[in-house]
Amino acid sequence: MLTAITLFLIGIGAGVLGALLGIGGGVILIPLLTGLVGLPIKTAIGTSIISVIATSSAAGAVYVGRGLTHTRLSMTMEIATTLGALVGGFTAVLINPNLLSGLFGLVLLYVAYSLRGIKKEAEDVAPTGFLDTSYIDPLTGEPVKYGVRNFPLGMMASFIAGSVSGLLGIGGGVIKVPIMSLLMGLPMRAAIATSNFMIGITAATSAVIYYRHGYIDPGIAIPTALGVLLGAQIGSRLGSRVHSHRLKQIFQILLLIFAAQMLYRALTGAN
C-alpha cells in the first residue's frame, strides 16, 4: 500500500513535468523507479512506456482542446518518427550502444546551448505560407500566428529522432521539442503541445510489444499511471501560466540532466 502511494506520487511529479515540457517523462521516471523504489530496469521501462502514453493522452486532451497542438504537422511528422522507430528497432544490433549514448549526450549538450537565445522567438515566429496556423497564447491572450519552415530538414531530423528513440528506448520528446523550436520555427508552447501529441503513438507501438513480453507489472504500472494521468492534467494547465521563455529554461535544465545520464551510460556501459 505504501509502495502504491509512493508510486502514485512519483507519477504525479512525472506527469506534471512531462506535460509541461512535452516529453514522456521517462527521463525522470526510470531513474526514480530503479533508484528510489528499487525496481528492476525491465519493470521500470514497462511502467515508463505506459506513463508516456498517459501523459500524451491526458495533456493532449487539454492542448488539443485549447488549439495549441499543430495536429496536421504532428500527423505528418509521425510518418518520419514512426518509420525511424521501426528502423531503429532493426539496427539496434548493429551499433555499439555506448558509442551511441555518448554521441547523443554530446548532441543534447549542444542543443541545450542552442536554446539559450531566449529573446529570439518573437522575431522568428511568423507565417511562412506552409502549414500556417495560429493559437491564442493562454498567458497573454494574444493570438500567435506561425508557419512551418525547414520542413524537409525537420522530417529528416524527426526520422533520426525516431530511430534514436527506438535504439535507446526513450520517448523522443526531448529531441522533438528542440527540432520544432529551433529548426522548424514553432513557438515553444506549440512545440511542446505538438511533441506531447506525437509521443503517445510512438510509445503505444512499443507498449503493445512490452505487454506481450511481460514487461508490464500492473501492481506497479497502474498506481504510477493513475498518478501520471492526474499530474499531466495539472501540468498542462500549469503550462498556460508559465512564460514561453521560462518553459525554455526549464527545458534546458532537463536537457542537461539527460545529457549527463547519456554520458554516464556511455562511460560506465550501464545499459
Partner 1 sequence: MAEPSPDQIHVSPNLEELVNGIESSTRQAQLLREQRDVNDVVHQMLIVGLVVSTALMVFGLALDIFYRRVPPTTVPQIGEVLPRMVELRPSGFLAAGLLVLIATPILRVAGSIFAFLHERDFLYAGITALVLLIVLASLLLGKG
Query: Which of 5, 122, 208, 267 lies at the binding interface for partner 1 (CB under 8 A)?
Result: 208
CA distance 58 to 262: 28
Of 17-25, 136-144, 217-225, 242-250: span binding partner 1 (CB under 8 A): 217-225
45 interacts with partner 1 by CB under 8 A:
no
Residues 101-160 that bind partner 1 (CB under 8 A): none
Query: Which of 5, 36, 79, 267 lies at the binding interface for partner 1 (CB under 8 A)?
Result: 79
We find the least distance from the C-beta atom of residue 212 to partner 1, in angstroms, to be 8
Of 14-22, 30-38, 53-61, 238-246: span binding partner 1 (CB under 8 A): 53-61
8 interacts with partner 1 by CB under 8 A:
no
Please, which residue, 31 or 219, has the CB nearer to partner 1? 219
b/e per residue 182-202 (b: at least 16 CB within 10 A):
bbbbbbbbbbbbbbbbbbbbb
Q: Which amino acid is at 144?
A: V
Of 98-106, 146-154, 197-205, 238-246: span binding partner 1 (CB under 8 A): 197-205
Contact 98, 266 (CB under 8 A): yes
Give the H/E segment covering residue 109. helix 97-114
We find the least distance from the C-beta atom of residue 268 to partner 1, in angstroms, to be 25
Contact 13, 234 (CB under 8 A): no
Across 94-250, where does the E strand assignment appear? Answer: 133-136, 143-146
Angstrom CA distances, 216 to 15, 42, 43, 222, stand at 19, 8, 6, 9
Q: List the one residue out of 237, 222, 231, 128 whose CA is nearest residue 184.
A: 128
Contact 150, 173 (CB under 8 A): no
The packing angle between helices 188-212 and 244-268, to 10°, is 40
* Binding track, positions 161-190, relative to partner 1; x by CB under 8 A: -----x------------------------
210 interacts with partner 1 by CB under 8 A:
yes
Q: Site size for partner 1, by CB under 8 A? A: 51
Of 28-36, 135-143, 152-160, 212-220: span binding partner 1 (CB under 8 A): 212-220
61 interacts with partner 1 by CB under 8 A:
yes
CA distance 73 to 156: 14
CA distance 102 to 14: 25
We find the least distance from the C-beta atom of residue 140 to partner 1, in angstroms, to be 22
67 interacts with partner 1 by CB under 8 A:
yes
- What residues make contact with partner 1 under the rule CB under 8 A? 4, 50, 53-54, 56-58, 60-61, 64-65, 67, 69, 71-72, 75-76, 78-79, 82-83, 85-86, 89-90, 92, 166, 200-201, 203-212, 214, 216-223, 225-226, 229
